[in-house]
Structures are given as structure tokens and as C-alpha cells.
Structure 1
Amino acid sequence: MIHVLTLTYLTSRETVVEHMAEHKAWLREHGDQGRILLSGPRPEGGAVIVTADLDEAQVRELIESDPWHKLGLAAYEQLAFEGRNASPGVVTAAEPDDSVLLINVATTDDAAASVSALASAVEHVSATAEGFRGSRLLTSVDGDAIVNLAAWTDQQRFDAIFEDDEFIRRYQEFAKTTTGGKYRLYRTSRVVTPNR
């Protein structure tokens, strides 16, 4: 389950700030280990943390290890939900799993035509392929390249799209709009969060 943790300060802002360095070190440690996906202050005070896919025992251990919790500076409220959909590039598993991220880079003389053709292939995959989690199409600032980031549950399901004649037809139409290209599959090997 994904957990949204809402922190409410139990003491003055000044006291919270005195212990900010320890809390930030804790956030970074768990962010680098893939347990915390997002965190930040709330405009009205307090903070919010969004976890990776953790079970109840893991999220309880996470909360109890926070220096602010140990010192009684913040109370936690918890909301859990099943994270079925994520934007491509967002990995919700705290531990490495079989998921893969496709990065497809193509050079082009007509970025709009290339994006349109590739979007047609990706929309077909979106409607028909098992294991597809989503895609994000990017255009270079100079307009000479496009990038497709697509998330898949595993390599076997990704490989299966090349047995789909309609996908192949659409992908070949996309290839005609490019001057070169190459795709690779990746797995997360390390996460580094901002140290600030």
C-alpha cells in the first residue's frame, strides 16, 4: 500500500526547526532507500510524506524511526491506498522488483510528426498490452529528438508487444519519421535524493 502521512507539529515552529537537520537526514536516508517518494511542508504548517509500496509494519517502523516522532515534535496521521497507477518514471516499489523502464530516444527532423506517430503506437499498447503502466513522450528543447519513457511490470510483457502485428505496423510508421533511434530497458539500481 502507498501511505500518505500527514505530520502535525506538537510544539513551536522554532523547536521543530532546531531538529530539522536530523529530520532531513532521516528523509534522505529513506528516500535513497526507495521508501519515501515525496515529502514537503504544508503551507498551513506541518508536513506530508508519501511512501512507496510498504506494508503496515514497514510504515509503522518508518514513522517510529523519525527523529521528530521520537522527540514528540510531530504527530502522524496515516491514509493508505492501493497504488495501481503511476506516472512513467515513478517507481513505487521500495525494493527492486521485475519492473522495467523503457527509454527510447530517436532523432528527427519533424518532432511533431514523430511524436504523433509514436503516440499512435503507444496508445495501441495502452489499450491492448498486459503489464503496460504508462508512457511519457518528451521532445528535446531543440526539436531534433524525442524520448519515450514507458514503464512495464516486467521484461517478458514488454517483449510480448513485438508479437502484435498492429503495434509493429504503427511502430514502423513512427520509424519512418525519424533519422535514427535506439531503445534500451532499465531497472533501478540506485536512487539519490536532493541533499538540502
Structure 2
Amino acid sequence: MIHVLTLTYLKPRDVVTAHLAEHKAWLREHADQGRILLSGPRPDGGAVIVTADLDEATVRDLIETDPWHRLGIASYERTSFEARTASPGVITAAEPDDSVVLINVATTEDAPATVDALAEAVRHVAATADGFRGSRLLTGVDGDAVVNLASWSDEKRFRAIFDDPEFTRRYEDFARTTTGAKYRLYRTSRVITPNR
């Protein structure tokens, strides 16, 4: 389950600020370990933390170790949900799993045509392929490259798309719009979050 943790300050602002460095160190530790996906202050006071896919015991332990919680500076309200959709590149698993991220870089002289052709291949995959989690198509700021960032549940399911003749035809149409294309599969090996 993904957990949205809403923090409400229980102490005056000066007490919150006095313990901010400890809280930030705790946030960074858990973000670097993949347990916390997002965090930040609310405009009306308090803060919000969005966790990775954590079980009940892990999220309880996470909350209990926050210095603000231990010192009675903030209370936690939790909303949990099953994440079924995520933007490509967003990895919700806190621990390494079999998921892979595809990065396909194509050079081109006609970025709009390349994006359109690649989108046709990706739409077909989105409608038919098991294990496909989503794709984001990016165009280089100079207009000479297109990147496909896609997420898959595992390498085997990714490779199975090449057994589909309809996908292969659409991918060949895409390749004809490029001056070169190369893809690689990646797994997360380390996460480093901003130190601020």
C-alpha cells in the first residue's frame, strides 16, 4: 500500500524549526532507502509525506522513528491506497524487485514525426501488453532526439512485445523516422535525494 501521511504541528513554530534538521535527516535516510517518495510542507502549516509501497508494520515503524513524532512535535494522519497506476520512472517498491525501466533514445531530423510514430507503437503496447506500467515520450530541447522512458514489471514481459507482429510493424514505422535508435533496460541500484 502507498500511504499519504499528513503531519499536523502540535508545538509552536520555533519548536518545529529547532528540530527541523533532525527531521530532514530522517526524511533523507528513508528517501534514499526508497521508503519515502515525496515530502514537503503544506502552505497552511504541517507537512505531507507520500511513502513507497510499504506494509503495515513498516509504515508504523517509519512513523515511530520520526523525531517530530517521538518528541510530540507533530501528529500523523494516514490515508492508504493500492497504487495501480504510476508515472513512468516512478518506482513505488521500497525494496528492489524485478521491475525494469526502458530508456530508448532516437536521433531524428523530424521530432514530431518520430514522436507520432513512437506513440503509435506505445499505444499498441499499452492496450495489449502484460506488465507494461506506462511510458513518457520526451523530445530533446534541440529537437534532434526523442526519448521513451517506460516502466515494466519485469524484463521477460518487456521482451515478449517483440513476439507481437503488430508491435514489430509499428516499431519499424517508428525506426524509419529516425537517424538512429538504441534502447537499454535499467534497474534501480541507488537513490540519492536532494540534501536541502
TM-score range, shorter chain: over 0.9
Deviations 1:54-96 (A, max 9, x none): 0010000000000000100000000000011100000000000
Deviations 1:7-46 (A, max 9, x none): 0000001110010000000000000000000000000000
Contiguous gaps of at least 5 residues in structure 2: none
Instruction: Give the match for residue 48 of structure 2.
Output: 48
Instruction: Give the match for residue 113 of structure 1.
Output: 113
CA distance in 2, matches of 1:84, 1:58: 20
For 1:92-131, list aligned pairs within 5 A.
92-131=92-131
The one-letter code sitting in structure 2 at the alignment partner of 1:79 is T
Instruction: Give the match for residue 24 of structure 1.
Output: 24
Secondary structure class of the residue paired with 2:191? coil
- CA shift for structure 1 position 172: 0.1
Instruction: Give the match for residue 86 of structure 2.
Output: 86
Contiguous gaps of at least 5 residues in structure 1: none
Instruction: Give the match for residue 8 of structure 2.
Output: 8
| 4+ runs deviating over 6 angstroms | none
Instruction: Give the match for residue 154 of structure 1.
Output: 154
Instruction: Give the match for residue 189 of structure 1.
Output: 189
1:179 aligns with 2:179: yes
Q: TM-score, normalised by structure 2?
A: 1.00
The one-letter code sitting in structure 2 at the alignment partner of 1:12 is P
Q: Count matched residues.
A: 196
Secondary structure class of the residue paired with 1:106? strand
Quote the sequence identity (%): 77
- CA shift for structure 1 position 181: 1.2
The one-letter code sitting in structure 2 at the alignment partner of 1:7 is L
CA distance in 1, matches of 2:187, 2:118: 23
CA RMSD of superposed structures (Å): 0.3
Secondary structure class of the residue paired with 2:98? coil
The one-letter code sitting in structure 2 at the alignment partner of 1:22 is E
CA distance in 1, matches of 2:72, 2:136: 42
Secondary structure class of the residue paired with 1:72? coil
Secondary structure class of the residue paired with 1:178? coil
